[in-house]
Amino acid sequence: MSLKERLNFDKEPVYLIDGTALLYRAFYARAGLSRSDGFPTNAINTVLRVLMNLIRDEQPSHVAFVMDGKGPTFRHAAYDQYKAQRPAMPEALAEQIEPVRRGVELLGVKLLVSEGVEADDCICSLAARYKADRPVIILASDKDLKQCLDRDVVMVSQNGRNETIHTLESFREAEGMEPATWPDFQAVIGDSADNIPGIPKVGPVTARKIFDETGPTLEDLRANYTRLPEKLQAKIEPELDNIFLYRQLTRMKPDCCDEPVNTFALRDPERDKLLAFLEEYELKGLERMVPRPAEKKAAPMAAADGGQYSLFGAPQAELDEENEFKVVETTDVTTLPSLAGEDVGLVFEDDTLFLGLEGKEYRYTGPLPALIRALEHASVIATPSVQELLRADDAWGHILSSQWFDLSLAAYLLDPEMRNYVWPRLRLSLYQDARPEFAEAAQNLHRQSQGLAALAYMQGIQGQVRTAHLGPLMRDLEIPLIPVLVSMEKAGITIDLGAFSDFLDDVSDQLAELTRSIIGHAGEEFNIRSSQQLAVVLFDTLGIQAGIKTATGMRSTANPVLEKIRGAHPIVEDILEYRMLEKLRSTYLEPLPKLVDEDSRLHTSFNQLATATGRLSSSKPNLQNIPIRGKYGPRMRACFTAAPGNSLAAADYSQIELRVLAHFSKDPALLDAFRNNEDIHSRTAALLADKSVDAITPDERRNAKTINFGLIYGMGVQKLARELKITQNEAKEFTERYFEKLATLKGYYDSIIKDAETDGFVTTLAGRRRLLPELHSRNNMQASEARRQAVNTVIQGTAADIIKMAMVAAYGDKELKALGARLLLQVHDELIIEAPEANIEQAGARLVEIMQQAAKLDVPLKVDMGVGRNWAEAH
């Protein structure tokens, strides 16, 4: 059923598509698709597929494909930090903009490119113009566009395979306001995606309470905010002027486009040119979808779950009486075919287990232990995420790690830059994009299948895993690591709530004192968090010479800028201290105590699929960025403690990346220093200064340390000069002398880049790959960044491999188990375990032994270890 029919529209609607948003989503939804010469085609393919589906199934009479133009808009002129945090568009996406625009127009869809405004403004303006005469369907996901909703204006958003239709009624019910006041609401709560601050510490719930009391607009808020409790008044008062600016940023311009509706009448496609275009970009899978002139409407399509139809290419199924997809429902494992020696697809979704084998789909809702006992005899179990299964139930641990084929993990290892490995997205790739590896596996696969789809995905991708030599990495390291991570997540770590509270009180007092000091230096009240107001105080009121300007010409007050003018006025030192303490308060001291369980233990989630180098990350909350050094690092770590009767041991690899560098480069100086257990930075400084190690000063050692670690991370001459506070010429001479003294290193770095340019990727010790197509970029900055990534990935990725090997070994170690020790945290090169106080020294020593034996390098691995009641003492 078409959207027009489902929404009971009695006139032909006009479809307004947010083309820029669709382009971005298309690019990230299917990474890696390219023409035979390497030109990226993933965004082109998906955008045109979406439009072809729309034309076929909706048969629209009028369609506008609206895209952002180049250059800043009126919002950037109004607020220099608008979207300032967003990274530059990837070159592989930028290259596809022109072909996408060409393909859209060849398809017969009118393209509109905004100038001085955003695509959303044009959409809002067109909706306002047309809604009196015909319905309007906006295909977009930007929440700002909800302000366009009206009686005959709806918005259709897509999130994965889930479609949401926003109407005026549903908006009123969900938000309790009118669309016209949506920008007022957004101005108060802010928008991190667009870098709009809003009122600090005011979220949606509090904002609704505010507007309920004051009235629905900012004008009402300004007039009536004194009715609110004093705490809320204190939050609102400093922002009363700013929020009107924020509303200007979130409010659409309803008068910026005046094209008549006939401009967007759908034309017949330029079929021959479109087919030639698809051939040019090798998009064979789209050729059969090219609509013919006056093509009849296709058979109705339904979403994979039998629910709402998806305009954005979610798995679809032909639903007819003769070919209805059959799922066998069972609660009895004995009714399943024998699983012994079989490859099985297994999907856990909505508390339901779907199994696919022997060409049939089963929905199992019986006892889990019985199913697991049957699966223990299967040959291979293909599942989207072993980690999610283990998180749901420890019983899945009875399956041997060698039996699992983790689909998301395989996709990640093949393309660690893709970032999105959720099952709906992977499943969609079976049917979308005409990927050759899935052509045979998915040939007769019904689009409603789950377990069979998992099996087909494995059959399609396992050949690539073998070809890329990733099988041993996946089988021997990454899959065995999964139960280790889940065990650590469930264990958590105790935090001292009293210590957190005392620390927060001290930081709050310091922030209050700093606020008084900063206002005193300024001679006037101003919002310290406002970069624009701060710029006026620093550069106009106090006359400090302005430093860097932002892309829109505004004066920057970012921390690196303030660091350079730290000595210009006492206020600068206060502001830097204020920002540091404010981050400590808002990131750690206030939120973390709210997340503990009944035993005061804090639980994080470890992410195995998040970084291109293979390093683990943690989230909800992130415990890998807990401050280590500085004035407050030790106090923060002292808040993380062992449970009563236990202690912590923290074991940290010493200079592991430099040891990896020595192993790979075979540089004689590095090898000799590590084999003789010398201080590597003093040894390097001695080489550079032509002195004995005993004669090296602390500053010389510090400089050598900076360049030793800096080169691993691709530090250039400019940054080295800044770090060492020397001129660029001096930094250049220093770098040249470094490579002259450690001559083998330069040759090794060059060999990494040369091999990467030839192969298209680099590999780590364990065989992990990272694709680096930007090495051949015409953009010098992107090519330079890819060269830095090549070196960094080999060194840092190998260090990540080694600590993962140590984690797997420690988790399975019988001696640690006998001592009652368990892994709690992994933070970069450090492992933290908890054990009974009587056993902690022995457990820590055993952990050191395991870590030092985790990998065989040409230099010894060294581990520093400490024990204590809290993390600071152990570290």
**209 and 169, same structural domain?**
no
In a domain, 123, yes or no: yes
Average pLDDT, the chain: 87
Residue 267's φ and ψ, nearest 5 degrees, are -100, 160
> Residue 303 — very low, low, confident or very high, per pLDDT cuts 50/70/90?
very low
Instruction: Write down which residue in 448, 468, 488 finishes a domain.
Output: 468
In a domain, 728, yes or no: no
Please count the residues of the chain.
Answer: 875
CA dihedral sign, ordered 225, 226, 227, 228: positive
Output the pLDDT for position 31.
Answer: 61
Q: Are strands 153-159 and 162-166 parallel, antiparallel or unpaired?
A: antiparallel
> Residue 381 — very low, low, confident or very high, per pLDDT cuts 50/70/90?
very high
Q: Dump pLDDT digits (tens) for 135-170.
A: 999 999 888 899 999 989 999 987 555 578 999 988
**165 and 208, same structural domain?**
no
In a domain, 549, yes or no: yes
Residue 325's φ and ψ, nearest 5 degrees, are -70, 130
pLDDT at 549 over 80: no
In a domain, 730, yes or no: no
Output the pLDDT for position 482.
Answer: 97
**Range from 37-46, 280-289, 584-593, 729-738 that averages highest in pLDDT:** 584-593
pLDDT at 807 over 80: yes
In a domain, 842, yes or no: yes
- Cis, bond preceding 621 (omega within 30 deg of 0): yes
**189 and 157, same structural domain?**
no
**Mean of the pLDDT values across residues 528-553?**
80
**630 and 574, same structural domain?**
no
Output the pLDDT for position 30.
Answer: 64
3-state secondary structure 144-161: HHHHHCECCEEEEEEECC
Domain tally for the chain? 5
pLDDT at 516 over 80: yes
Q: Dump pLDDT digits (tens) for 857-874.
A: 999 999 999 999 999 999
> Residue 434 — very low, low, confident or very high, per pLDDT cuts 50/70/90?
low
In a domain, 160, yes or no: yes
CATH for 784:
3.30.70.370
| Amino acid at residue number 711 | L
Which residues on adjacent β-strands are paired with residue 137? 15, 154
| Residue span of the structural domain in which 846 resides | 600-667+763-875
Instruction: Write down which residue in 242, 275, 290 finishes a domain.
Output: 290
pLDDT at 558 over 90: no
Q: Dump pLDDT digits (tens) for 389-405.
A: 999 999 999 999 999 99
CATH for 52:
3.40.50.1010
Output the pLDDT for position 293.
Answer: 59
Structure tokens at 419: 């970032």
pLDDT at 320 over 80: no
Q: How many CB atoms lie within 10 A of CB 206?
A: 15
- CA dist 215 and 202 (Å) reads 17
**Percentage of the chain with pLDDT > 70?**
93
**238 and 372, same structural domain?**
no
**234 and 162, same structural domain?**
no
> Residue 1 — very low, low, confident or very high, per pLDDT cuts 50/70/90?
low
In a domain, 205, yes or no: yes
What predicted TM-score, i.e. pTM, was given to this entire model?
A: 0.66
Q: Of 53-57, 322-326, 856-860, which range is least confident?
A: 322-326
**Percentage of the chain with pLDDT > 90?**
50
CATH for 415:
3.30.420
In a domain, 127, yes or no: yes
> Residue 784 — very low, low, confident or very high, per pLDDT cuts 50/70/90?
confident
Bigger pLDDT: 471 or 295? 471
Output the pLDDT for position 317.
Answer: 33
**270 and 138, same structural domain?**
yes
DSSP-assigned letter for residue 196: B
CATH for 182:
1.10.150.20
Instruction: Write down which residue in 595, 615, 650 finishes a domain.
Output: 595
**410 and 434, same structural domain?**
yes
pLDDT at 481 over 50: yes
**581 and 501, same structural domain?**
yes
pLDDT at 565 over 70: yes
> Residue 656 — very low, low, confident or very high, per pLDDT cuts 50/70/90?
very high
- CA dist 239 and 246 (Å) reads 10
Q: Dump pLDDT digits (tens) for 91-105.
A: 888 999 999 999 999
**501 and 439, same structural domain?**
no
| Amino acid at residue number 569 | H
**590 and 528, same structural domain?**
yes
**Mean of the pLDDT values across residues 828-843?**
96
Q: Dump pLDDT digits (tens) for 235-264.
A: 899 888 889 988 988 898 888 888 888 899
With 0-12 / 13-18 / 19 or more C-beta atoms within 10 angstroms meaning exposed / middle / buried, residue 244 is middle
**Range from 112-121, 149-158, 595-604 that averages highest in pLDDT:** 595-604
Q: How many CB atoms lie within 10 A of CB 115?
A: 11
Q: Of 159-173, 209-223, 431-445, 646-660, which range is least confident?
A: 431-445
**152 and 66, same structural domain?**
yes
